[in-house]
Amino acid sequence: MAEGVALRKGMEMEPDTGRLKISLQRKGRLAESSLRVLISAGVELEPAEGRLFARSRSFPLDVLFLRDDDIPEYVQDGITDLGIVGLNVLKEKGARVAQLDLLGFGGCELSLAVPKHDSYRSIYDLEGKRIATSYPNVLQAFLKEKKIKAKVIEISGSVEITPSLDVADAICDLVSTGSTLRIHELEPVEVVLKSEAVLVANPNSMKEPWKRELIDRLRTRVQSHLQARKTKYVMMNAPAGSLEEIRQILPGMKSPTVVPLAQDGMIAVHTAVPEEFFWDVIEKLQGTGATDILVVPVEKMVLS
Ligand code: PRT
Ligand code: ZN
């Protein structure tokens, strides 16, 4: 579909006027977090309740709200320049889009699962079996890679009930907490794909200089937020003599900020600590004489 063509009656995409377009899931598990990504990047949207389209005044970006299954194709066809969608849907649709950034939400696994009391030993037990799934393309590719011949049965929903109806011997479905599988007395036996939400782009949009510039600006903002979420800012007071020991404990980053305190021989040390090292660092710091350790969340972190 060409840009500027009416998508639905009464809803017309505007022609290019120096604005980017992004498609997001309208309703569902990714909808709220996708909007939050934009908000965290300073993209304020005009209220879009019940509407399929929203504009931002604070960034040259228009948002189209779609079913997640349609997003890869809309981006591939250039109807929108960008999209946020689960890797699972992206791989299943096989769309030709540029995969830009993993966004750290919507995490799940597309897994093979079998009835709990099956004597499953290895993936080769699935040879000749019937496997129900809503992801036939991803599953077929996985089985081919493993050189397993099985009958793939495409089902659009409630895949988890198919073994109890004797429609299938195993299923391949998304799992997050695992409770749906447990309720249906199924157990996951093999991860086919690890998925999370991803920012994707139309390859031609990435080549168009003015679009590329806007996409890069948006990505920098999004990344600064994602990076900040993984970081804590730690402040402490300590005897000046402990500084070297404290510096040894603080991981990577740049060198900490050190400020002398009014009390003689005491300093304040400030630094950013990646979340993964956080508890380890705090526990070690306690042994150095550091006191009054304060930890605050980081709002944005712009890396150069
Ligand atoms: O209407 P639209 O087509 O836009 O939405 P949808 O109904 O197709 O998708 P939606 O909103 O359910 O999911 C959107 C995306 O969220 C998926 O494509 C995944 O990328 C991601 N996601 C993350 C999940 C799950 N976790 C998830 N648990 N999508 C679906 N599930 C389902 C799963 O299919 C199973 O039925 O939840 C059940 C299992 O959950 P647990 O927690 O019991 O394991
Ligand atoms: Zn869907």
In the predicted model, is pLDDT for residue 31 greater than 80?
yes
158-166's contacts with Cβ under 8 Å and 24+ in sequence apart are: 159/132, 159/133, 159/134, 160/113, 160/184, 160/186, 162/132, 163/114, 163/115, 163/132
Residue 303: inside a domain: no
Boundary residue ending a domain (145, 170, 195): 195
In this structure, the residue with its CA closest to atom 19 of ligand 1 is 86
Which has the closest alpha carbon to 150: 159, 142, 158?
142
Instruction: Give the CA dihedral 272, 275, 280, 281, nearest 10 degrees.
Output: 0
Q: What is the CATH number of the domain that holds 158?
A: 3.40.190.10
Ligand 1 pocket, residue 33 CB under 6 Å:
no
Where does a domain end: 228, 251, 277? Answer: 228
Q: Whose CA is nearest to atom 22 of ligand 1?
A: 106
Give 47-67 pLDDT, tens digit per residue: 766 779 999 999 999 999 999
Same domain, 20 and 82: yes
Same domain, 187 and 100: no
144: in domain: yes
Res. 222: pLDDT tops 70: yes
Give pTM, 2 decimals: 0.87
Q: How far is the CA of 84 from the centre of ligand 2 (A)?
A: 13
- Radius of gyration for the chain, computed over Cα atoms and rounded to the nearest angstrom: 25
- Strands of the sheet containing 170-175, edge to edge, are 151-154, 130-133, 170-175, 108-115, 186-195
Q: Say if ligand 1 is within 6 A of residue 128 CB.
A: no
Nearest-ligand number for the alpha carbon of 66: 1
pLDDT value for 17: 67
| Number of structural domains in the chain | 3
Q: Is residue 304 part of a domain?
A: no
The residue whose C-alpha atom lies closest to atom 16 belonging to ligand 1 is 29
CA–CA separation, 11 and 1 (whole Å): 14
Q: Is residue 97 part of a domain?
A: yes
Any ligand 1 atom below 6 A from CB of 61? no
Ligand 1 centroid, distance to 53 Cα (angstroms): 23
pLDDT at 2: 38
| Claim to verify: residue 75 and residue 204 sit in the same structural domain | yes
Q: What is the pLDDT of residues 155-200, one digit of tens each?
A: 999 999 999 999 999 999 999 999 999 999 999 999 999 999 999 9
